[in-house]
Amino acid sequence: MKTHTIPMLAIATMLSMVSSAFAFGAAPAPPSNVVAVDAPDDAGEAIILSWALSPNDIFGTLESDTQATDPDLVVSVYYIERRTDSAAGNGSISEEDQGWQQISESAAGEVTTTDRKVQRGWSYSYRVCAVDIQKETSSWAATEEPVRPIMQPFNMSKAWLAIFMLMFGGLIAYFINVARSGKKLWVRPIAGLAAIDEAVGRATEMGRPVLFVTGIQDINEIQTLAGLTVLSRVAKTAAEYGAQIEVPTCRSLVMAAARETVESAYLAAGRPDSYQPDRIHYLTDEQFAFVAGVTGYMVREEPAACIYMGGFYAESLILAETGNHIGAIQVAGTAMPSQLPFFVAACDYTLIGEEFFAASAYLSDDPLQIGSLKGQDYGKFISVLILVIGICFATFASMSGSDENVWGASKNFIKDNMLGSAGLLPTGSGDTDIEGDDS
């Protein structure tokens, strides 16, 4: 018995060593279905690569039960390699790029990556392998045929945006032409704008200045431009009444533009001698330092009227409340939905969103600009129409209990294509890339 025990032990030890050696050398299964496609709606500058997860990837649906996977073979990362197959035009492929080059790594569970370091018109092949936690690599899974990034002439994901823009632009251009032909157009009065003249008049009577703040954004923002157009009118009124206007700015370029605006307004009012450029001055780019500067001025000089027209953030309430404490008549206008409640609570009049943008046209009394307002109103009507139609489709789809009918398809078309980025027509891919929720 003893004579058999030692050889048996030796054989068992050897078998165990061999099996553990094999386990150490085992590699995970490779990913599959490696597909490379040209990125849509771009200038031929990207290729999208996708693959199916390795069976040893615990993020895979079938491997979600981690106990079913050999822990040594669990995929930790995927290596992605690229080979340049052909060049376009006079370009030449470097020797390095003619072979496989690793371009990136993707973590376990990821099934797609975008290669943005490609040349338009060149063709590329890709291959992917899975790497386990022991750094063992699987065999490679490659694309079946090379892919060539090409430039699309138009970004189709924004097709409906372009259509809406052309539609609204056409309406506005049409009404501008109608106004140009001499037809009188009626637009509803905006209470906040009528209050501006009243505020400037009050400041004149009290012998105190008018404070005008154009927000804290730079001149390249549309809200600042809209604010400057209102400033033009306020400055003209102030010049006519003989009131002083103070314009602290948060950006140097805004200061330069505001000076031009106010100077022209004084000139138009026939009071160029009253124009004081130093009253339009730069404070600082820093948000709260700007607020400190402006509120300090408000407390010291006590302007009779404070007008805030532009893009504001958290400083809106500090400015408006300080103005309220000094008893100034306050008119505000902004297109920042989050700041509107603060202005409504603290100011006498507030131009809400579109009213703010309408202000410059409304104040100008220029028929051409009034025409654009009319076009804006019709644009609003079309928006409401689409909204009502969408609500009807959504309601009918909900009542039918399924999206697999004409109501559901129509609802999805409005949501995904018209308001989303799924392109001009439905493709059936169910792309729902849309901001906000569906509540």
Partner 1 sequence: MKRFVPLVIAIVAGFVLLIANFIPYAEGWGLTAQEWFNILAVGAMVLGGGNLIKLQLMKISSKKAGWGYAAVTVVCFFAAIFIGMGKFGVHPNELYPNYAWSGYYLEEGSGMWWIYQHMIVPLTSTMFAMLAFYVATAAFRAFRAKNTEATLLLVTAGIVLLGRTYAGVWLFEGWLPDWLLWLRFDNLTVWIMDVPNTAGTRAITIGIALGVVATSLRILLGVDRSYLGQD
Residues 195-234 that bind partner 1 (CB under 8 A): 218, 220, 222, 225-226, 228-229, 232-233
Is there binding between residue 176 and partner 1 (CB under 8 A)? yes
User: Which of residues 93 and 156 has its CB atom nearest to partner 1 in the complex?
Assistant: 156
Do 245 and 305 form a contact (C-beta atoms < 8 A)?
no
Residue 212 identity:
F
Stretch that binds partner 1, among 7-15, 68-76, 373-381, 404-412 (CB under 8 A): 373-381
User: Which of residues 144 and 366 has its CB atom nearest to partner 1 in the complex?
Assistant: 366
Cα separation, 222 vs 310, whole angstroms? 9
Work out how close the CB of 266 gets to partner 1 at its nearest, in angstroms, rounded to a whole number. 10
In the list 70, 116, 272, 288, the residue contacting partner 1 (rule: CB under 8 A) is 288
Work out how close the CB of 257 gets to partner 1 at its nearest, in angstroms, rounded to a whole number. 6
Q: Which are the contacts of 128, defined by CB distance < 8 A and separation ≥ 6?
A: 30, 31, 34, 49, 51, 78, 79, 80, 81, 140, 141, 142
Work out how close the CB of 273 gets to partner 1 at its nearest, in angstroms, rounded to a whole number. 17
Work out how close the CB of 210 gets to partner 1 at its nearest, in angstroms, rounded to a whole number. 17
Is there binding between residue 292 and partner 1 (CB under 8 A)? yes
Is there binding between residue 274 and partner 1 (CB under 8 A)? no
* Size of residue set near partner 1 by CB under 8 A: 89
Is there binding between residue 142 and partner 1 (CB under 8 A)? no
Residues in the chain: 439
Query: In the window 301-360, what residues touch partner 1 (CB under 8 A)?
Result: 314, 317-318, 320-321, 324, 335, 337, 340, 342, 344-346, 352-354, 356-358, 360
Is there binding between residue 118 and partner 1 (CB under 8 A)? no
Is there binding between residue 256 and partner 1 (CB under 8 A)? yes
User: Which of residues 58 and 239 has its CB atom nearest to partner 1 in the complex?
Assistant: 239
Residue 381 identity:
F
Is there binding between residue 169 and partner 1 (CB under 8 A)? yes
Do 136 and 74 form a contact (C-beta atoms < 8 A)?
no
User: Which of residues 78 and 175 has its CB atom nearest to partner 1 in the complex?
Assistant: 175
